[in-house]
Amino acid sequence: MNKEYEILQSSKVSRASGFIAIFLIIFLFFAPWWAGRADIRLLSEIFLYLSLASLWNLLAGYCGLVSVGQQAFVGLGGYLLFALTIFSGFNPFAAILVSGILGALISLPVAFLIFRLRGAYFAIGTWVVAEVFRLSFAQIQSLGGGSGSSLPVGIVKSIASSKAMRESLTYWMILGLTVFILLSVYLILRSRRGIALIAIRDNELASQSLGINILRSKLFVYVVTAGLTTILGGLIFLQKLRISPDAAFNVNDWTAFVIFIVVIGGIGTIEGPIIGVLVFFILRETLADLGSIYLIMLGFVAIFVMIRAPKGIWGFVSSKYNIELFPLSRKLKEIKGE
Amino acid sequence: MKKILETKNLCKSFGAIKVADELNFHVAENEALGIIGPNGAGKTSLFNLITGTIKQDKGNIFYQGESIDHLNVPNRCHQGISRSFQIPQPFGGLSVFENTFVAASHGAGLSTAIANKTCIQILEQTGLLSKANQIANTLTLLERKRLELARALCAKPKILLLDEIAGGLTESECQLLIQTIFAIKDTGISIIWIEHIVHALMSVVDRLTVINFGAKIADGPPKEIMNSKDVKEIYIGIEADA
Ligand SMILES: Nc1ncnc2c1ncn2[C@@H]1O[C@H](COP(=O)(O)OP(=O)(O)OP(=O)(O)O)[C@@H](O)[C@H]1O
Ligand SMILES: [Mg+2]
């Protein structure tokens, strides 16, 4: 009796959620035809936060690299967009792609410094690096120094002549990049590299002894994340058309809210950032008028979720109902043969 | 016989405790070497030194004739040295299959398709196939130990380091384990087996080394060693502990 086996990385649920995801992406692609300008802006912002959250989740939730300094790369991306278009005459979209590569390269020496630090020291180190970036860019007088500058009209016009077309193009870029980032994170985690990251997270000693180079695995994720975050930064400030050091390297906007989203949604799960970003924007849209009370409310929500569901909303749901929408697991299945 | 592994004047201490004291020993290709010694003698530390998780203070380790002192832990695994842990170290959130897949894909560097096949075959050989989809955290201690063996094998070692995998087994389970280890040896793999269950060890190994306080105190054919007077004293000590 010779049994045969196969290894499955998907399930009925995952195929269904993949199908729904594709449908949703097509639907969102046509948003410029069915949504108003304000809605397009809101959707863009949701996608940008979803991307930032997925990347931070990969970094902190899967690699244990709890960075509170990702604003370094958001700001870098914004400033590179301005510098490359103003000084080097790049087309804005080309500038954003180039800045992604530059961001990844710059993250290498940064990693060399901060990877010597562990735990809380690592977190503080990332923040210090972001502050150094902020102070450095504030010194560049040709980009407006401490008070910042606007993207010249000529460059803005070079994206597209009409305002509506420009906004639609930017929206599609953001949507496309979001799909690319979510898919990348998912595919990385499903790959051999991904299972190595999860193995490291579960047991460093065993993962090393079984041939995994921990430093190299984490460095790979750090550099990829930095490059993609830099690209996001470029798109964020292409949408804003104005940049200043305080806005570009803002720890609240680009890190604190992102951490909130991931922790609320479920850190270390693929689905967590998606749930988290929805909760965050629902809260923001309903409570933003309350001013600073809104931030206090966010704090309470965070505390409540952390006490009642330490693994976030998705962690709670998935362990209760035992579901994975986007599975990473490899399941052994017997093929009933003759 | 060619030596696959050799240590020369290996020394390591933790403060006042010497876990390796001018240790010279070797394993020949396709040889099964047994190591015994009382608790705290430095047996597990020796595995830590060989695999690189701790660094020696003095001395050298040679693998296939070349020094591996400069190699880090994952590289030593890639070269063909793989171990099981005395205290099981599973990837708790991954399934049994995925645990072995990590070893086959990263330790042995196999392609996904071949890694899958290898893991299935080794899970079958070690009697874990029916647990393949179970999350490692939910395994019993004995199953975890079996997973240690399976995972170490999936890294496709040339030399396999086994650290107390027979403890707690029933007599028939122990016989199955002995058969499994014979089968592993038949594929040409060299083995170092640390074991307090001496009769299991005796039925498999070609040679026995006795360690006490980090120093080698006897080395030779298993029966001869077990009957020597020095060892009998320590052996009684082990039996009292075990
Ligand atoms: N990383 C470490 N730091 C400090 N002391 C250590 C360390 N590792 C081992 N030791 C000590 O070294 C001694 C030898 O430990 P080791 O685990 O090698 O013994 P062993 O021969 O495997 O014993 P057992 O039969 O109980 O498994 C023990 O006293 C242990 O407490
Ligand atoms: Mg030990």
pLDDT for B240: 45
Running DSSP on this structure, what letter comes out for residue A59? I
3-class state of residue A285 by DSSP: helix
- Whether residues A209 and B73 touch (CB distance < 8 A) is answered with yes
CA distance B114 to B137: 26
pLDDT at B225: 84
Domains, chain B, with CATH or none: 1-80+157-242 (3.40.50.300), 90-156 (no CATH)
Q: Per the CB < 8 Å rule, is B89 touching A331?
A: no
pLDDT of B241: 47
- Cβ neighbourhood burial of A19 (10 Å; 0-12, 13-18, 19+): exposed
CB distance B106–A212 less than 8 Å? yes
CA distance A144 to A139: 9
**Nearest-CA distance from B118 to chain A in Å?**
12
DSSP bridge pairs for A180: none
Strand order in the sheet with B81-83: B81-83, B159-163, B190-194, B32-36, B207-212, B215-220
User: Chain A contact for B112, CB < 8 A?
Assistant: yes
- Give yes or no for a contact between A78 and A248, defined as CB atoms under 8 angstroms apart: yes
Asked whether the beta carbons of A56 and A240 are under 8 A apart, the reply is no
Q: What percent of chain B has pLDDT over 70?
A: 97
Q: Which of A269-283, A298-312, B156-170 has the lowest mean pLDDT?
A: A298-312
What pLDDT digit, counting tens, does each position of A24-70 carry?
Answer: 999 999 988 998 888 999 999 999 999 999 999 999 999 889 999 99
Q: Band the pLDDT of A2: cuts 50, 70, 90.
A: low
Amino acid at A237: F
Cα–Cα distances in angstroms (integers) from residue B208 to residues A321, B43, B184, B225, in the given order: 53, 13, 18, 7
- Cβ separation A212–B78 shorter than 8 A: no
With contact defined as beta carbons under 8 Å apart, do A238 and A81 qualify? yes
Bridge partners of A104, per DSSP, are: none
Q: Could you give the residue ranges of the DSSP H alpha helices within A241-271?
A: 245-248, 251, 257-265
B242: confidence class by pLDDT, cuts 50, 70, 90: very low
Name the amino acid, one letter, at B38. P
What number is the average pLDDT over the span B180-188? 93
Contact by Cβ (8 Å): A276, A264: yes
Q: Across the interface, which of A202, A210, A332 has its CB nearest the CB of B103?
A: A210
Q: What is the pLDDT of residue A13?
A: 84
Residue from B10, B13, B18, B45 whose mutation best tests the ligand 1 pocket (most atoms within 8 A of CB)? B45
Burial B110-145 (b: 16+ CB within 10 A, else e): beeeebbebbbebbeebbbbebbeebbeebeeebbb
Cβ contacts of A334 on chain B, cutoff 8 Å: none
Please list, in sequence order, all residues whose beta carbon lies within 8 angstroms of the beta carbon of residue B83, skipping any fewer than 6 positions away. A209, B47, B50, B51, B152, B160, B161, B162, B163
To which residue do tokens 């305080």 refer?
A: A246
pLDDT digits 0-9 by tens, B52-95: 999 999 999 999 999 999 999 999 999 999 999 999 999 999 99
Q: Which two tokens stand for residue A54?
A: 């997925």
Q: What is the token pair recorded at A295? A: 């931030």
> In this complex, do B151 and A201 lie within 8 Å of one another by their Cβ atoms?
no
pLDDT above 60 (res B238): no
Interface probe, candidates A219, A332, A333, A335, chain B, greatest B C-beta count within 10 A: A332
* Contact between A204 and B70 (Cβ < 8 Å): no
On the question of pLDDT at A337 being above 60, the answer is no
Q: Which value does ipTM take for this structure?
A: 0.91
Residue type at B71?
A: L
> Nearest CB to B107: which of A195, A202, A211?
A211
pLDDT of B126 > 50? The answer is yes
A222: CB partners within 8 A, 6+ apart: A59, A63, A65, A107, A111, A115
Q: Is residue A189 within 8 Å of B94, Cβ to Cβ?
A: no
Residue A283 pLDDT > 70 = yes
Quote the pTM value: 0.89
Q: Please choose, from the candidates A87, A107, A46, A137, the residue with its C-alpha nearest in 3D space to the C-alpha of residue A230.
A: A107
Query: Residue A213: its pLDDT value, please?
Result: 96
| Pairing between β-strand A149-150 and β-strand B3-14 as defined by DSSP bridges | unpaired
**Which one-letter amino acid corresponds to residue A146?**
G
Which residue is closest to B129 within chain A, CA to CA?
A: A332
pLDDT at B236 over 70: no
What number does the ligand 1 atom closest to the CA of B214 have?
14
> Residues B112-130: what's their mean pLDDT?
94
Instruction: Look at chain B and count its residues.
Output: 242
Measured from CB, residues less than 6 Å from any atom of ligand 1 are: B 14, 17, 19, 37, 39-45, 86
User: Which residue is listed with tokens 């195929």?
Assistant: A15
A232-256: pLDDT as tens digits: 999 999 989 999 999 999 888 899 9
d(CA B120, ligand 2 centre) in Å = 29
Q: Pairing state of beta strands B190-194 and B32-36?
A: parallel
CA A177 vs CA A108, A222, B157: distances in Å: 23, 18, 43
| DSSP-derived pairing of the beta strands B81-83 and B159-163 | parallel
